[in-house]
């Protein structure tokens, strides 16, 4: 699996500059049964969509990250409290061959179903009801609420571990390898360490590289995510 959180190019900040060619490099690194999750705004994907397609990636599905707080630009009419995470897979592989482990949540709504009338074609049937289990499992939904790292972030665009964990569980088998093309604060390495996945991260900024390395070095077991 590859995880990519590139600069979106939505602002004039010095670090928010689009990176040329990373899509093709990522495509050359992925296994035939692997996939890639990319973070971005809708504006970013509208610009980058044809680049991803021409690099050999095919769209699969998207997740909406709902934040507890948000941001806004001067021209915005609504406060931005979400980002997108979109999954892509190699265009040479059928979707059915891509590794996928369905994730569930234990928050299904309990309900009672009662039969109030007798079907016309039957004889006498006594009143009955069925009560589902409280908090039963259901397929995880495509909107994930996770608190942002505001006030405690190492990197300006740091993603919370709670957001990326289900994506790793879905798309990378136990013991599998996750490539993090824009490592930033090392969040993906942190999650891989806890989930038993191997990890390789790349970060162009030497100061963030050092901070991410220090972060991963403090995890138990020491060095497991290196």
Domain ranges of the chain: 2-217
Judged against a pLDDT cut of 60, whether residue 127 lies above it is answered with no
Q: What is the pLDDT of residue 120?
A: 61
Q: CA dihedral in degrees (115, 116, 120, 123; nearest 10)?
A: 70
Mean pLDDT score, 189-207? 94
Mean pLDDT score, 141-158? 83
Distance of alpha carbon 173 from alpha carbon 33, whole angstroms: 11
SS3 assignment, position 26:
helix
Q: What angle do CA 139, 142, 144 make, to 5 degrees?
A: 105
Please say whether the beta carbons of 97 and 91 come within 8 A.
Answer: no
Which superfamily, per CATH, for 2-217?
Answer: Vaccinia Virus protein VP39 (3.40.50.150)
Q: What is the pLDDT of residue 226?
A: 45
Q: What percent of the chain has pLDDT over 90?
A: 65
Tens digits of residue pLDDT in 29-48? 999 999 999 999 999 999 99
Mean pLDDT score, 21-34? 97
Q: What percent of the chain has pLDDT over 70?
A: 82
Judged against a pLDDT cut of 90, whether residue 136 lies above it is answered with no
Distance of alpha carbon 128 from alpha carbon 150, whole angstroms: 52
**Which of the 8 DSSP states describes residue 123?**
-
Judged against a pLDDT cut of 90, whether residue 197 lies above it is answered with yes
Mean pLDDT score, 41-64? 96
Please say whether the beta carbons of 4 and 39 come within 8 A.
Answer: yes
């Amino acid at each position: 699996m590859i995880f990519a959180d590139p600069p979106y190019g939505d602002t004039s900040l010095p670090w928010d500059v689009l990176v040329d060619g990373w899509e093709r490099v990522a495509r050359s690194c992925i296994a035939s049964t692997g996939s890639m999750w990319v973070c971005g705004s809708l504006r970013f994907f509208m610009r980058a969509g044809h680049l991803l397609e021409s690099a050999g990636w095919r769209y699969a599905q998207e997740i909406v990250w709902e934040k507890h707080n948000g941001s806004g630009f001067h021209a915005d009419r609504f406060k931005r409290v979400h980002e997108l995470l979109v999954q892509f897979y190699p265009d040479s592989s059928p979707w059915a061959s891509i590794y996928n482990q369905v994730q569930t949540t234990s928050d299904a709504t309990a309900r009672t179903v009662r039969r109030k009338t007798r079907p016309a074609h039957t004889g006498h049937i006594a009143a009955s009801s069925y009560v589902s289990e409280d908090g039963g499992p259901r397929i995880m939904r495509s909107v994930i609420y996770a608190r942002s790292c505001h006030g405690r972030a190492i990197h300006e665009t740091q993603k919370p571990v709670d957001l990326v964990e289900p994506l790793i569980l879905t798309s990378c088998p136990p013991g599998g390898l996750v490539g993090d093309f824009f490592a930033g604060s090392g969040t993906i390495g942190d999650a891989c360490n806890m989930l038993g996945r191997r990890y390789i991260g790349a970060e162009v900024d030497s100061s963030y590289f050092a901070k991410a390395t220090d972060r991963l070095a403090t995890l138990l077991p020491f060095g497991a995510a290196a």
